């Protein structure tokens, strides 16, 4: 087995034992980058020199008898909305052109302290607003399974980097499906943890009550390993849940016997037939492994799209007010400060970001707050209450991750609704703050990957990973 096909779990074990050098693991992955990055465009920045120094430090630690940590020598890619000290952090926006953060995000510190080797910063939809990574100021990311198709989004670069084996694992952020949907479209595992389990300090904010960082990997075990490393309380994030890091690796082989798996009977329709077939097979696999399939209803789920597209832009319009040409990034000079703000923001933001800032500003403005933002917050409560009722009957719920497989680049750019609908199954999780993950489960139209999504209640990661591991066994 080549070094790029070795799991992160095995890489770390071999490096820690001194049987494998981190620099050799890095070189194997950088060779893949050299071979295919020009057709994939997973990265905004490849940090090859810094990665080499990190890998050499890992090897030196092992040689000196020190343990580099649970991710020793594992090449990792970071979504380019996570602050990296001295390394450009662009959010794939022109407005942050040239900005080098003066600090590392907490997750960046955690993976580095665990011995991981950062190979680069990955492409995304500008400020994570999109479902295809086509809304990037630097151009789209292409799907490694078919480079005429999108990688999904907004964490498309992080999904593609793992799928193309440019990195063993990666980190993305998920506000409405931005980890799970690209994971499904690229045929890898992607996890959105419970809101508050992973620190958001140093994650450039999009919608603060929805954003959460999580892992991408080839298998369920590597995501469990990475999530164990990045989860846990951070006193520098005031929304961080005060509890120790998640313990997941011990859950993976427990099976699903006796678990109740919820099937949502009023799931919004419109999925491709192959996607529905894979979902049906996923339920069959879980039932065959001893789980009980139970029917649940989520009548408010169909209103999730509306609640999300009011709440997220409202929060974004506030969060993105900070890009004003004063403290970081680009500036368009003008005669006075206000004219400078307006010219800088007009030149620096792309169309989708402007559209969402406008929508959010409107939804929050005097006279419209109650009709739009206020009402959306109430719908958010209805969705959360629906989930609470469903989880009285079921331990987890299982749905498709995306209603469709990877679509051709450019095919939805002029049809934002059909783009937004890609997230119909993933958005409700963010509104409720719950964990959910996508697991590859066979293929659909054109032989492209299909992902099945496992949803769990707040802090239900342990049972979620048990089910995900069973689905992974079922898919083989």
Q: Which residues are catalytic?
A: 79, 154, 178
Binding mask 207-246 toward other proteins (x if CB under 8 A, else -) reads --x-------------------------x--xx-x-----
Between residues 135 and 217, which has the closer beta carbon with respect to other proteins?
135
Total residues interacting with other proteins, rule: CB under 8 A: 79
Candidates 3-11, 113-121, 355-363, 461-469: pick the segment binding other proteins (CB under 8 A).
355-363
- Measured from the CB atom, is 154 or 402 closer to other proteins? 402
Please say which residue, 434 or 466, places its beta carbon nearer to other proteins. 434
Outline where 187-303 has alpha helix (H): 220-230, 273-288
Contact region for other proteins (CB under 8 A) — 64-72, 140-148, 222-230, 309-317? 309-317
- 365 interacts with other proteins by CB under 8 A: yes
Nearer to other proteins, 198 or 286 (CB): 198
CB 434 within 8 A of CB 460: yes
Q: Which of 42, 163, 359, 456 binds other proteins (CB under 8 A)?
A: 359
Q: Residues 190 to 209: which contact other proteins by CB under 8 A?
A: 194-196, 209
> Least CB distance from residue 364 to other proteins, whole Å?
9
Residue 8 or 406 with smaller CB distance to other proteins:
406
CB 383 within 8 A of CB 300: yes
Which three-class secondary structure state does DSSP give residue 264? strand
Kindly state the smallest distance separating residue 374's Cβ from other proteins, in Å: 6
C-alpha distances (whole Å) from 36 to each of 39, 54, 140, 141, 465 are: 6, 23, 15, 12, 32
Closest CA to 376 of 193, 213, 209: 209
- Report, in Å, the least distance between residue 385 CB and other proteins: 9
Buried b (16+ CB within 10 A) or exposed e, 290-312: ebeeeebebebbebbbebbbbbb
Please give the structure tokens belonging to residue 327. Answer: 């403290």
Instruction: Find tokens 């086509």 and name the residue.
Output: 134
The strand pair at 436-443 and 189-192 is best described as: antiparallel
Point out which span in 39-47, 64-72, 252-260, 267-275 binds other proteins (CB under 8 A).
Answer: 267-275
Q: How far is the CB of 383 from other proteins (least distance, A)?
A: 9
From the CB of 158, what's the least distance to other proteins, in Å?
23
User: Where in 28-67 is the site for other proteins (CB under 8 A)?
Assistant: none
458 binds other proteins (CB under 8 A): yes
Say if strands 292-296 and 146-150 run parallel, antiparallel, or are unpaired: unpaired
Which residue blocks in 210-350 are alpha helix, DSSP H? 220-230, 273-288, 304-319, 337-348
- Among positions 318-347, residues that touch other proteins (CB under 8 A) are 321, 324-331, 333-343, 345-346
Question: With respect to other proteins, which residue has the nearer C-beta, 294 or 340?
Answer: 340
Q: Of the two residues 290 and 408, which places its CB atom closer to other proteins in the complex? A: 408
Nearest Cα residue to 6 out of 118, 134, 168, 143: 168
Looking at residues 411 to 430 of the shown chain, list those that interact with other proteins (rule: CB under 8 A): 414-418, 421
| Residues from 82 through 141 that contact other proteins (CB under 8 A) | 98-103
Q: Which of 115, 120, 403, 449 binds other proteins (CB under 8 A)?
A: 403
Here the tokens at position 27 are 């070189």
Chain positions 268 to 297 lying near other proteins, rule: CB under 8 A, are 268-270
Question: 3-state class of 120 per DSSP?
Answer: strand
Residues 316 and 372: their CA atoms lie apart, in Å, by: 15
Exactly one of 19, 65, 378, 392 binds other proteins (CB under 8 A); which one? Answer: 378
Burial class (CB in 10 A: 0-12, 13-18, 19+), 53: exposed
450/249 Cα distance (integer angstroms): 25
Figure out which of the listed residues 40, 161, 310, 439 binds other proteins, where binding follows CB under 8 A: 310
- Cβ-based burial of 277 (10 A; exposed 0-12, middle 13-18, buried ≥19): middle
Shortest reach from residue 89's CB to other proteins, in Å? 10
In whole angstroms, the minimum distance from the beta carbon of 219 to other proteins comes to 28
Instruction: Work out the burial of residue 238: count CB atoms within 10 Å of its CB; fewer than 13 is exposed, 13-18 middle, 19 or more buried.
Output: exposed
In angstroms, give the least distance from the CB of 321 to other proteins.
Answer: 7
User: How near is the Cβ of 348 to other proteins at its closest, in Å?
Assistant: 10
SS3 138: coil
Phi, psi at residue 58, to the nearest 5°? -65, -50
Q: Which is nearer to other proteins, 255 or 416 (CB)?
A: 416
Q: Which is nearer to other proteins, 289 or 330 (CB)?
A: 330
Q: Which residue has the tokens 């789920």?
A: 301
């Amino acid at each position: 087995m080549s070094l790029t096909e070795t799991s992160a779990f095995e890489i770390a074990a071999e490096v820690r034992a001194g049987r494998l050098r981190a620099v050799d693991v890095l070189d194997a992955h950088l060779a893949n980058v050299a071979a295919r990055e020009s057709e994939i465009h997973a990265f905004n920045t490849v940090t090859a020199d810094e990665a080499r120094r990190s890998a050499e430090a890992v090897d030196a630690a092992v040689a000196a008898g020190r343990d580099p940590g649970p991710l020793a020598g594992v090449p990792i890619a970071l979504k380019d909305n996570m602050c990296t000290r001295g390394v450009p952090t662009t959010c794939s926006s022109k407005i942050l052109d040239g900005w080098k953060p003066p600090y590392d995000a907490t997750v960046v510190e955690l993976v580095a302290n665990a011995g991981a080797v950062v190979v680069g910063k990955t492409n995304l939809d500008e400020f994570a607003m999109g479902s295809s990574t086509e809304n990037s100021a630097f151009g789209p990311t292409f799907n490694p399974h078919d480079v005429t198709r999108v990688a999904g989004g907004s964490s498309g670069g992080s999904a593609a980097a793992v799928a193309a084996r440019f990195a063993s694992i990666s980190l993305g952020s998920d506000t409405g499906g931005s980890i799970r949907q690209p994971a499904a479209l690229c045929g890898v595992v992607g996890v959105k943890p419970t809101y508050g389990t992973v620190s958001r300090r140093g994650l450039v904010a999009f919608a603060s009550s929805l954003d959460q960082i999580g892992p991408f990997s080839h298998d369920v075990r590597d995501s469990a390993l990475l999530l164990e490393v990045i989860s846990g309380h951070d006193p520098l994030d005031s929304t961080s849940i005060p509890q120790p890091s998640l313990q997941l690796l011990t859950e993976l082989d427990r099976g699903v016997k006796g678990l109740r798996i919820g099937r949502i009977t009023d799931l919004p329709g419109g999925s491709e037939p192959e996607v529905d077939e894979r979902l049906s097979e996923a339920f069959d696999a879980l039932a065959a492994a001893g789980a009980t399939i139970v029917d649940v209803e989520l009548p408010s789920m169909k209103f999730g799209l509306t609640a999300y597209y009011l709440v997220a832009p409202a929060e974004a319009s506030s969060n993105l007010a900070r890009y004003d040409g004063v403290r970081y990034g680009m500036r368009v000079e003008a005669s006075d400060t206000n004219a400078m703000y307006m010219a800088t923001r007009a030149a620096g933001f792309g169309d989708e970001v402007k559209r969402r800032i406008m929508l959010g500003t409107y939804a929050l403005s005097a006279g419209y707050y109650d009709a739009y933002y206020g009402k959306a917050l109430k719908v958010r409560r209805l969705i959360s209450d629906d989930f609470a009722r469903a989880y009285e009957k079921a331990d987890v719920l299982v749905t498709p991750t995306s209603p469709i497989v990877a679509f051709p680049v450019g095919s939805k750019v002029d049809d934002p609704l059909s783009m937004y609908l890609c997230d119909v199954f993933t958005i409700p999780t963010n509104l409720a703050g719950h964990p959910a993950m996508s697991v590859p489960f066979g293929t659909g139209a054109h032989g492209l990957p299909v992902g099945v999504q496992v949803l769990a209640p707040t802090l239900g990661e342990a049972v979620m990973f048990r089910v995900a591991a069973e689905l992974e066994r079922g898919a083989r």
